[in-house]
Structure 1
Amino acid sequence: MPDTHNVRDLGGYASRVGGTTQWRRILRGEALHPLTEDSRAELVDGNLSLVIDLRGPHETGIAAHPFGDHPSVAYRNIVLFDALSPIAMAQQPFDMAERYCEALDRCGARFAEVFRAVIEAKPGIVLFHCTAGKDRTGVVAAMLLATSGVSHEDIAADYALTASAGGLIDHLRNRALAAGTDPRLVERMLASDAETMEAFLAYLDGAHGGIEAYLQKIGLTAIEITALRDRLCT
């Protein structure tokens, strides 16, 4: 869609459980308020069933969400982790990988809510997003792909693709610099290095025993974990 920069499909990745993740099942993206009527119609015609908005109230209040009251597309606002919003990250120095790992430790209940929303969605496409489609969206995408048996290497490469969303990154950079944010902090905030995601995945394995153990720890049952995997894989 020409009015977005970072809406991507999680389909096409090889899975260790066999086959590949399926196309047109789950999309990841950035803020959707710039969508034109034609782009909204394209998503609806493609059988979009649920939009999960991971942003906090300081972000959702900027503009009305195009699917906030849509007659045929469900909308859920599940505030994942405000410390991963661009506004929060522009306030003080931080380590991106550490912040992602902190989300694992602190936001189990919210992750569970997101994953149950995916499981319970009506048949069709689920699209989840934040502001840039990189951080909150990136960790959720990583966990969905890990649940589906995708390799760490491919998950990290998927995360790094945000760096190619030049128009979006330029817009966010200019907005942050205009607000007086330290340029070095801006570049760190906007980076999407594969190494950052590799560190997150290593922490998921080392501190939490891997994705399945983590999902069980935050309350998902074996039946729910299978249903979550099936949403993307079958």
Structure 2
Amino acid sequence: MSGQRVLDFDGLVNARDLGGLPAAGGRIRWGAVVRAENPAKLSATGWEGVWRHGVRTIIDLTCEHEAEPDLAPRPAGMTTIRILLDDPSDTEFWARWGGAHSGTPLYYGPYLDRFPGLVAEAVGALIRAEPGGVLVHCGGGRDRTGLIVLVLLAALGVSAADIAEDYALSHRRRAELCAAAGLDDDTARIRAFLAEQGTTESRALDEVLTGRDFSDYLRAAGLGDEGIAALRARLLDPA
């Protein structure tokens, strides 16, 4: 499969295929991973498009209180796996890194240090998913989804510049999501907050990526050498 990164599914505006991104030893395989916002608003036509794209597994990173009823039934053969990426019991962590921080990459590094097991659980679910594409989502498809996508891409050797551009694209697409829902886009507030912290999105992402070997991180978090090999086999088209 090859084609357009930004995907047009009725009911989603922040959906895109990670395929085609250059990685170490090849490129990310088209159709292997789709990132998106919550797919609950997909119409029947939208779900049909997701199915035609090859997605067979949904990895849901949202909390229970964010659950929304699906506008249209999911295809009968679609598997949904929920992984609670935000551990609400760790009040100390969220007192420091919640709020405005959690809408930016500033919390990514501390999160990776604090919750390697949860990151490995999300990546492991993708690795072990049934054959077919995997759609990873949170609420808006930017922050929690962005964290897991960053780990996936960095572990496969995608450049920091390409990871930052993929993250920035979520802001542009989220603006459309907010406009469609009659909500204010928070991009300006986020960038103002980052400026107050003396940084930008791209610099914050670069700090997360610099000095970390994400393959080693996932190995140590529980995936081991076999998990890294399985991740490469599933997501990478060799050069």
Q: Give the TM-score category using the shorter length.
A: 0.7 to 0.9
Inter-partner Cα distance in structure 2 for 1:41 and 1:33: 14
Specify the code of the residue in structure 2 equivalent to 1:10. L
State yes or no: 1:78 paired with 2:83.
Answer: yes
- From 208, 227, 233, the equivalent of 1:224 is 227
**In the TM superposition, what is the alpha-carbon distance from 1:39 to its structure 2 partner?**
0.7
State yes or no: 1:174 paired with 2:179.
Answer: no
Distance of aligned partners of 1:67 and 1:114 in 2 relative to their CA distance in 1, 3 Å threshold: farther
Unaligned runs of 5+ in 2: 1-8, 89-94, 195-199
Inter-partner Cα distance in structure 1 for 2:182 and 2:190: 10
1:166-188 per-position Cα deviation (integer Å, ceiling 9, x unaligned): 212446783699xxxxx846965
- From 108, 113, 118, the equivalent of 1:105 is 113
Inter-partner Cα distance in structure 1 for 2:114 and 2:164: 22
**In the TM superposition, what is the alpha-carbon distance from 1:193 to its structure 2 partner?**
3.0
What is the TM-score when the length of structure 2 is the normalising length?
0.79
Inter-partner Cα distance in structure 1 for 2:178 and 2:115: 26
In the alignment, what sits opposite 2:58?
Answer: 51
**In the TM superposition, what is the alpha-carbon distance from 1:22 to its structure 2 partner?**
1.1
Distance of aligned partners of 1:67 and 1:200 in 2 relative to their CA distance in 1, 3 Å threshold: farther
Inter-partner Cα distance in structure 2 for 1:68 and 1:54: 19
When the two chains are superposed, the root-mean-square deviation of aligned CA atoms in Å is 3.0
Q: Contact conserved, 1:30 with 1:129, CA < 8 A, in 2?
A: yes
Q: Contact conserved, 1:80 with 1:110, CA < 8 A, in 2?
A: yes
Q: Contact conserved, 1:97 with 1:197, CA < 8 A, in 2?
A: yes
Inter-partner Cα distance in structure 1 for 2:56 and 2:121: 17
In the alignment, what sits opposite 1:137?
Answer: 145
Inter-partner Cα distance in structure 2 for 1:5 and 1:82: 27
Counterpart mapping for 1:73-222 below 5 A: 73-81=78-86, 92-94=99-101, 96-165=104-173, 166-170=175-179, 174=183, 184=189, 188=193, 193-202=201-210, 205=211, 209-222=212-225
In the alignment, what sits opposite 2:5?
Answer: none
What is the TM-score when the length of structure 1 is the normalising length?
0.80
Distance of aligned partners of 1:65 and 1:3 in 2 relative to their CA distance in 1, 3 Å threshold: closer
Specify the code of the residue in structure 2 equivalent to 1:201. L
- % of aligned pairs identical? 31
